Amino acid sequence: MLRLRNVKCFYGRIQAISGVSLSVRQGEIIALIGANGAGKSTLLQTVSGLLSGWEGEIEFEKVSLAGLKPPEIVQRGISLVPEGRMLFPPMSVLDNLKLGAYIRYRRKEREQVEKDLEEIQDLFPVLRERFRQAAGTLSGGEQQMLAIGRALMARPRLLLLDEPAMGLAPFMVQLIMETLQKLKEDGMTILLVEQNARAALQIADRGYVLENGRIVLDGPAHELLADEEVKRAYLGKDYREFTDGRM
Amino acid sequence: MLKRLIFIAVIVLTGQVVSNPYYLQVLTFIGINTLLALGLNMVMGYAGQISLGHAAFYGLGAYTSSLLTIHLNWSPWLALPFTLVFVGLIAFIVALPMLRLSGYYLGMGTLAFGMIVFFIFLQWRSLTGGDSGLIGIPGLTLGPISFEFGAPPFYLVWSAVFLSFVVCERLIDSRIGRALRSLHDSEKASAAMGINTSRLKVQVFVFGGVMAALAGFLYAHLITFISPQTFDFLMSVKIVTMVVIGGMASVWGSLLGAALLTLLPEWLHVFADYEMIIYGLTLVVIMIFLPQGLTRGLLDSYEHFRSRSKNLPKSHES
């Protein structure tokens, strides 16, 4: 469904991603894990069109995404749940959700949008109680749910999530991960970027480990969970830092 | 709907009750300034794009229409659509490069644009009359009604204000309005929603510019005289002040802000030499005590008052 081939990303002259290839198949949950600064968010922002400085090939449903701006990419069916949720805090929960469906109002899908609003509330019952409340007044977990709900309102076929577990209590993390599984059962394809590798790999089909802008490891999620290398990356420490100069 | 009917009723009543020509003129000016503040509020209050050159569009509207009617003998009503389109076009051309900037840089850019336009009014003497301005601008007439004195200009301007209110409120409640507010919060997040942020910014800038041009048109043909000083940098700052004092992202705030900033100098005349000091102090005090502007501030104190009177017994227990 999504295929990246030798993708390199740049911030000005600084290269953040040096040749990443990965693929996401229809109906899969793919976990992309790695430490701080490995380039996970960069990669997601590139796919969603927020970063334009990249080389290589990105194909979604066999069509290249080169040169497309975020609105066009959302139109094609890819939605991003950004890092740190990036809600619109002074606006109500309802308005946030409606903004998620922005592109669909143009396509005259008003009635369908209303139905989807209901569906999102069924998925996250807490949001129903907070409908008129400003998004900024929600708790961290509720905000994350809203961010996911907002992305779903665009009716994506591929959902990109950037660290949805960040800063959440373990109970909340579990709830979010269960929701993602539920979405998968309903046919959603998910690319999940997480530092909380354990939580991510537990629900994922396959995983990729990103380190310093490169994929260093990939494979079925359960194999990665058992892998020593992954345990190291999961801790967020690079052991060369400890061994350099001593070996 | 009720709100709108009340608004119309207040306009009609005011026009009937007030007969003093001075008061009517002040009220007319409040109307023109409301148009300016409302246009800028869409750009600044809602979309979060600061503009320190809004008076340029006000001036461009006034000068374009005046020149068309004086030199080409056009009827003002014919000049109106042309003026709006022309100023809209200029706003579009300016917005394309300008709105790539943000924050302070956008402020500087729009400030420079305002100054350039002001100096064109001032220096292009053969066309604009330079310092001495343009005289003999034809007034507005509609059949037997002349909009030169008394109540007619008041009604005309406030009809325009009413229509703009309706348009702006509808716009704000639509998906476009939500998109504008999202732009204010985070451009990146709104891009991730699939909003074409750069196009939206240009659109709202043009919208604000056209509203200012409408205000300029009304000003020119009601006063029948214009000069560059009306559209200088201080006017731009004044419009920004109206928006901030009245309340950002509030349609009614534009009205309150415009009213206060038009009335305050009139009220303060009695203080003679101390006028400007008290004027400044008033604004500072408002900003200290109602930093969200008059609308939000008044609403908040109302809600605060209501919840206090409700919860009073409870808070005693705790």
pLDDT at position B318, please? 37
Residue A221, in any domain of the structure: yes
Residue A204, SS3 per DSSP? coil
Note whether A102 contacts B195, CB cutoff 8 Å. Answer: yes
Spatial separation of the C-alpha atoms in residues B48 and B223, rounded to whole Å: 33
pLDDT at B315 over 50: no
Answer yes or no: is pLDDT of B113 > 50: yes
What are the tens digits of pLDDT across the range B138-160?
999 888 888 888 889 999 999 99
Please report the sign of the dihedral spanned by the C-alpha atoms of residue A18, residue A22, residue A28, residue A33. negative
B293 touches B278 (CB < 8 A): no
Residues with pLDDT less than 50, chain A = 236-238, 242, 245, 247
Cα distance between residue B270 and residue B293, in whole Å: 26
DSSP B232-268: SHHHHHHHHHHHHHH-TT-HHHHHHHHHHHHHHHHHG
Site from B188, B193, B197 to mutate, A interface, most A CB atoms within 10 angstroms? B193
Q: How far is CA A244 from the centre of its chain?
A: 34
Residues 58-117 of chain B whose Cβ lies under 8 A from any Cβ of chain A: none
A103: which chain B residues are within 8 Å (Cβ-Cβ)? 193-194
State the Cα–Cα distance between residues A181 and A163, nearest whole angstrom. Answer: 16
Higher pLDDT, A22 or B272: A22
pLDDT in tens, B205-218: 999 999 999 999 99
CA distance A151 to chain B (A): 7
- CB of B4 closer than 8 Å to CB of B252: no
Domain boundary among A155, A190, A216: A155
Q: Residue B240 — very low, low, confident or very high, per pLDDT cuts 50/70/90?
A: very high
- Would you say residue A33 lies in a domain? yes
**B165 close to B42: Cβ distance less than 8 angstroms:** no
Are both A54 and A104 inside the same structural domain? no
Torsion, Cα B250 B256 B259 B263, to 10 degrees, reads -140
B299: buried, middle or exposed (CB in 10 Å: 19+, 13-18, 0-12)? middle
Question: H-helix or E-strand containing B204?
Answer: helix B197-223
Residues shown for chain A: 247
- State residue A231's pLDDT score: 73
Mean pLDDT, chain B, whole residue set:
91
| A78, A160 Cβ separation under 8 angstroms | yes
Q: Rounded to whole angstroms, how far apart are CA atoms B33 and B28?
A: 9
Of A12-21, A140-149, B88-97, B106-115, the range with the lowest mean pLDDT is: A12-21
Question: What's the average model confidence in pLDDT over B278-294?
Answer: 86
Residue type at A52?
S
Q: Is the pTM of this model over 0.95?
A: no
Q: With contacts defined as CB-CB under 8 Å, which chain A residues touch B191?
A: 49-50, 69-71
pLDDT digits (tens, 9 = 90+) for B25-62: 999 999 999 999 999 999 999 999 999 999 999 999 99
Q: Identify the pLDDT of residue B271.
A: 86
Question: Cα dihedral sign for A180, A185, A188, A191?
Answer: positive
A206 and A172 both lie in a single domain:
yes
At A208, list the tokens: 């990729």
In a domain, A117, yes or no: yes
| Residues from chain B contacting residue A117 (CB–CB below 8 Å) | none
Tell me the shortest Cα–Cα distance from A70 to chain B, in angstroms: 6
Nearest to B214 by CA among B47, B54, B96: B54
Residues A234 and A160 in one domain: yes
> How far is Cα A92 from Cα A128, in angstroms, rounded to an integer?
12
Within 8 A of B196 by CB-CB distance, chain A residues are 69, 71
Same domain, A95 and A149: yes
Backbone angles phi, psi at B143, to 5 degrees: 60, -125
Query: Which residues are CB-contacts of A31 (< 8 A; sequence separation ≥ 6)?
Result: A192, A193, A194, A197, A200, A201, A203, A204, A206, A207, A208, A221, A224
Is residue A247 situated within a structural domain? no
One domain for residues A51 and A113: no
A172 and A235 inside one domain: yes
Domain residue ranges in chain B: 2-241
The packing angle between helices B54-71 and B233-246, to 10°, is 120
Same domain, residue pair A98 and A171: no
Q: Which pLDDT does position B310 carry in this prediction?
A: 64
Count up the domains in chain A and report the number: 2
Interchain proximity B193–A74, CB inside 8 Å: yes
Range of the domain at A126: 86-155
What is the per-residue pLDDT for A240?
52
Q: Please report the pLDDT score of residue A233 as a whole number.
A: 60
Q: Are residues A68 and A176 in the same domain?
A: yes
Unique residue bearing structure tokens 């020509």: B21
* pLDDT 10s digits, B147-194: 888 889 999 999 999 999 999 999 999 989 999 999 998 898 999 999
- What is the C-alpha R_g of chain A? 18
A192 and A73 share a domain?
yes
Residue B314, pLDDT > 60, answer no
CB-based contact B185 A90, cutoff 8 Å:
yes
Assign residue A50 the CATH number of its domain. Answer: 3.40.50.300
Reported ipTM: 0.84
CA dihedral A134, A137, A138, A144 (to 10 degrees): 80
Beta A54-60 vs A63-64: how paired, if at all?
antiparallel
Tell me whether residues A88 and B195 touch, CB distance under 8 A: no
Q: Which one has a higher pLDDT value, B122 or B302? A: B122
A246 found inside a domain = no
Q: Output the CA–CA distances (angstroms, integers) from residue B298 to A129, B169, B304, B305, in the order listed.
A: 28, 20, 10, 10
Nearest to B194 among A82, A86, A103 (CB): A103
Verify that A72 and A160 share a domain, yes or no: yes
Pair B208, B51: CB distance under 8 Å:
yes
Q: How far apart are CA A173 and CA A164, in angstroms?
A: 8
B195/A71 touch (CB, cutoff 8 Å), yes or no: yes
> For B189, which of A69, A82, A95 is closest by C-beta distance?
A82
